[in-house]
Amino acid sequence: MRGPKRASKIRKLFNLSKEDDVRKYVNTYRRTFTTKSGKKVSKAPKIQRLVTPLTLQRKRGRIAEKKKRIAKAKSEAAEYQKLLATRLKEQRERRSESLAKRRSKLSSAAAKPSVVA
């Protein structure tokens, strides 16, 4: 008899809960046979979609990495906004200085009587 290979299908077949170990129940449909050399061998299907501590650890790692990337992007964006703000402030200051110079030139030129030869 060949049984299911997927963990959820095995659970369904044996009416197991999520806490029960699926690997123990695969033994019920393990195949035993003798090889050409006369050696007795038993085979069981490799259980797919089995949630193991290692898969959970990898999942936690992926989530942590994603959170780290999001935090890094946020901090870099804030830093860039700060840089833009300082550059904009400097640009405004330079513009106001150049306007002040232009105004002072115009006012001094208007105050001086023009000498025509």
Structural domain spans, the chain? 1-49, 52-89
Whether 63 has a pLDDT exceeding 60, the answer reads yes
| Among 51, 55, 48, CA closest to 4 | 48
Q: What is the pLDDT of residues 95-107, one digit of tens each?
A: 999 988 888 888 8
Q: What is the pLDDT of residues 6-59, one digit of tens each?
A: 999 999 999 999 999 999 999 999 999 999 999 999 999 999 999 999 999 999
Stronger pLDDT, 103 or 61, i.e. the higher one: 61
Q: Is the dihedral of CA 1, 23, 27, 42 positive or negative?
A: positive
Task: Report CA dihedral (99, 104, 107, 109) to the nearest 10 degrees.
Answer: -110
- What was the pLDDT predicted at 91? 96
Q: Is the dihedral of CA 33, 36, 40, 43 positive or negative?
A: negative
Say which CATH topology domain 1-49 has.
Answer: 1.20.5
Contacts of 44 (CB under 8 A, 6+ apart): 26, 27, 29, 30, 31
Supply the DSSP symbol for 113.
Answer: P
C-alpha dist (Å) from residue 33 to 23, 38, 42, 47, 100: 20, 9, 6, 20, 98
Tell how many helices (H) and how many strands (E) occur in the chain.
Answer: 2, 2
pTM, two decimals, is 0.63
Whether 113 has a pLDDT exceeding 90, the answer reads no
